[in-house]
């Protein structure tokens, strides 16, 4: 029996492999988010220690915190006036484009990748105050 390759078979095999790869990746995880936090340089401006604010507010306990309300940090007027809490939806919008979400905010860094944002949020959700 002779097996021949054709474009349709190759495309079908590639589609199966892509599907398997996506399933294997699964949901975002906190360790990936922690690595991204360091790789992207977030810790240059943000500490992970409660109350230790740098150029940006501490990220310790940020998930569930009211927006613009980290103790001891001087927020922009626009973020100080923002309503709501930091949850998965608000953090995703924020990380995608902080200045579009809250015009006048100090933060300019964007995270374009939805997968990277999801991993960062998974880490921040589980990060405990140090």
Q: Which domains does the chain have, with CATH numbers?
A: 28-126 (1.10.760.10)
Q: Which of 10, 19, 6, 38 is nearest to 116 (CA)?
A: 38
pLDDT at 2 over 60: no
pLDDT (0 to 100) of residue 129:
54
* pTM metric for this prediction: 0.76
- What is the C-alpha to C-alpha distance for residues 104 and 65, in angstroms, rounded to an integer? 20
Region of 61 (left: φ > 0; alpha: ψ -120 to 50; beta: rest) is: left
pLDDT at 111 over 80: yes
Task: State the chain's mean pLDDT as an integer.
Answer: 82
């Amino acid at each position: 029996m002779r097996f021949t390759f054709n474009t349709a078979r190759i495309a079908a095999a590639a589609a199966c492999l892509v599907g398997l790869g996506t399933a294997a990746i699964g949901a975002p995880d906190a360790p990936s988010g922690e690595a991204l936090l360091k790789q992207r340089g977030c810790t240059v401006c943000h500490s992970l220690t409660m109350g230790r604010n740098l150029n940006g507010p501490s990220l310790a306990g940020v998930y569930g915190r009211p927006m613009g309300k980290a103790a001891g940090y001087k927020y922009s007027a626009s973020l100080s006036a923002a309503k709501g809490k930091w949850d998965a939806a608000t953090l995703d919008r924020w990380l995608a484009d902080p200045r579009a979400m809250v015009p006048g905010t100090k933060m300019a860094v964007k995270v374009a990748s939805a997968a990277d944002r999801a991993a960062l949020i998974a880490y921040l959700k589980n990060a405990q105050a140090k």
